[in-house]
Amino acid sequence: MTDPIPPRRVFHPAREEAATAAQAAESPQTVNPAYTLAFQDMDFLLREDLRPVRFQLELLKPELLLEQANIATTFVFYGSARIPEPSKADALIEAAATDHQRLVAERLKAKSKYYDEARELARRVSRIKPDPEGRRQFVVCSGGGPSIMEAANRGACDEGQESIGLNIVLPHEQMPNEYVTPDLSFRFHYFALRKMHFLLRARAVAVFPGGFGTFDEAFELLTLVQTGKVRRMPIMFFGRDYWGRVVNFQALVDEGVIAAADLDLFTFCETADEAWDCVCNYYSGTEEDLGC
């Protein structure tokens, strides 16, 4: 006689319970919203005092799916949603109706080279092999939108590799770019949870020219590293001229609001080659040696 094997569970799965609940006969009690199963009651889940639960769900869903996809670490790309692909840059200039619009379009065209650099860097990153346990390393992760984000996901796609897109619900709808892997395309309501998922698996971050969103993401990362809340990692700012124009980093040191050593938390670079060398040098000789 073989030893008995106990069942894995004694409660019915929630999916079965939900199906059973849907078969309930109609009565004044069963049609009342109070009778609806809590996890099927959208009015209940969207109550103001259920925000902590929604926070937990928004943290948990991507985490479970990324773990299920065997993704151990990511290479994160931050950058503008407005910098055009080089082949489309002239169209912006032609569409300009005023001198100011033309000037802006010309400046965006000058930065369009970073689309190609982001795409090339993503290609390099996507060639990293899984570790001996089969865990996927340095999976490309972007905000999932257009421009620099698209270039990152596109570079991974060029190599036949999957990539992550972390979209956000905005008043002006932003669709995921076509190169994001559908199974790894996530949508967030809370900026805070989206930014947390950018960094939970990040082991390197490339920051391209961008606006408020890029500043928000990049400077939060610098603050977390500066304060020791996040371990140091390669952080590359693309475009020394751009960043030197919009942020006077040395003035922050001169004013005494950051230390001179804080400027060592990141590196300026111009090309995918420079950024990749920075990453390889950082991890050379460590447990995370990439074998570049």
Q: What is the pTM of this model?
A: 0.93
Does the residue 125 lie in any domain?
yes
**pLDDT on residue 9:** 83
Does the residue 129 lie in any domain?
yes
Does the residue 43 lie in any domain?
no
CA distance 286 to 292: 12
**pLDDT on residue 7:** 81
Kindly give the confidence (pLDDT) of every residue in the chain, 292 residues in length, as a single tens digit, with 9 standing for 90 and above: 678 888 888 888 889 988 888 888 899 989 899 999 999 999 999 999 999 999 999 999 999 999 999 999 999 999 999 999 999 999 999 999 999 999 999 999 999 999 999 999 999 999 999 999 999 999 999 999 999 999 999 999 999 999 999 999 988 867 899 999 999 999 999 999 999 999 999 999 999 999 999 999 999 999 999 999 999 999 999 999 999 999 999 999 999 999 999 999 999 999 999 999 999 999 997 777 776 7
Does the residue 59 lie in any domain?
yes
Does the residue 172 lie in any domain?
yes
**pLDDT on residue 22:** 86
Q: Which residues pair with 269 in a beta bridge?
A: 238
**pLDDT on residue 64:** 98
**Which structural domain, as residue segments, surrounds residue 238?**
48-81+114-283
Domain with 244 in it: what CATH number? Answer: 3.40.50.450
CA distance 26 to 28: 7
**pLDDT on residue 173:** 67
Does the residue 173 lie in any domain?
yes
Q: How many domains does the chain have?
A: 1
Does the residue 6 lie in any domain?
no
Cα–Cα distance list, 275 to 82, 118, 121, 256, 279 (Å): 22, 10, 8, 29, 6
Does the residue 194 lie in any domain?
yes
